[in-house]
Amino acid sequence: MSTAEAPKSEPTLEQTLWAAVCEIEDDVKAPKFKDYSLTLVFLKRLNDVYEEELDHAETQLGDRQTAERLIGTDHKMVRYFLPTESRWPQLAQRTTGLGEVLTDAVRAVSRANPQLQGVIDNVDFNATAAGRRIVTDDRLTNLIQALSSPACQLGVKDIAPGALGGAFAYLLRRFA
């Protein structure tokens, strides 16, 4: 986000996130994928906040490698620690085996942040029903690409205070 750009308001964020969620399927079928969608939105938020905190640590410490090493050693330097394999840029590069990669990623975040156990790690992106994957890698890729757009920056500086909570409530209403 440029410094001239104002943080996203709740209505703007709601529309942006709903449009991204609908990349997994159309408006009618999107509610079927609620758990997958909300988990990825939450993971994206964690990543964007983590990146902001890493940028701040880099500024304070002088270089990125030192910041990453120190944060990797002392997770209390950030709100939530994201293991390398759980960070958005690594996930966004994947197109095959994505269900397994995402399941592993959210479980790694949960292990690194015990307060998130049972919150982020309860979705199996590889789950099947009647012998078929519920959400294919293609659909997951579409959602990740939509959430990777500049409009879906979810860092603290990107969103007006309180807007994310309102946007999540909006998504839950839409899914209902």
What pLDDT does residue 26 have? Answer: 55
Domain ranges of the chain: 10-175
Q: 69 and 63 in contact (C-beta within 8 Å)?
A: no
Query: Would you place residue 28 in the very low, low, confident or very high pLDDT band (cuts 50, 70, 90)?
Result: very low
What is the mean pLDDT of the segment spanning 136-146? 92
Report, as an integer, the average pLDDT of 151-163: 91
- pTM of the entire predicted model: 0.89
* Burial track 121-160 (b if 16+ CB lie within 10 A, e otherwise): bebbbbeeeeeeebbebebbbbbbebbbeebbbbbeebbe
Q: How confident is the model at residue 34 (pLDDT cuts 50, 70, 90)?
A: confident
- What are 68-109's pLDDT values in tens digits? 999 999 999 999 999 999 999 999 999 899 999 999 999 999
Percent of the chain with pLDDT over 70: 92
Q: Could you tell me which CATH number the domain at 10-175 has?
A: 1.20.1260.30
pLDDT score for 22: 82
pLDDT band at 156 (very low <50, low <70, confident <90, very high): very high
Query: What whole-number distance in Å separates Cα of residue 169 and Cα of residue 18?
Result: 11
Mean pLDDT of the chain: 89
Report the half-sphere exposure of 93 (CA within 13 A, side-chain side): 5
Does residue 31 carry a pLDDT above 80? Answer: no
Q: What is the pLDDT of residue 27?
A: 52
**Residue 6: pLDDT over 70:** no
Band (56; pLDDT cuts 50, 70, 90): very high
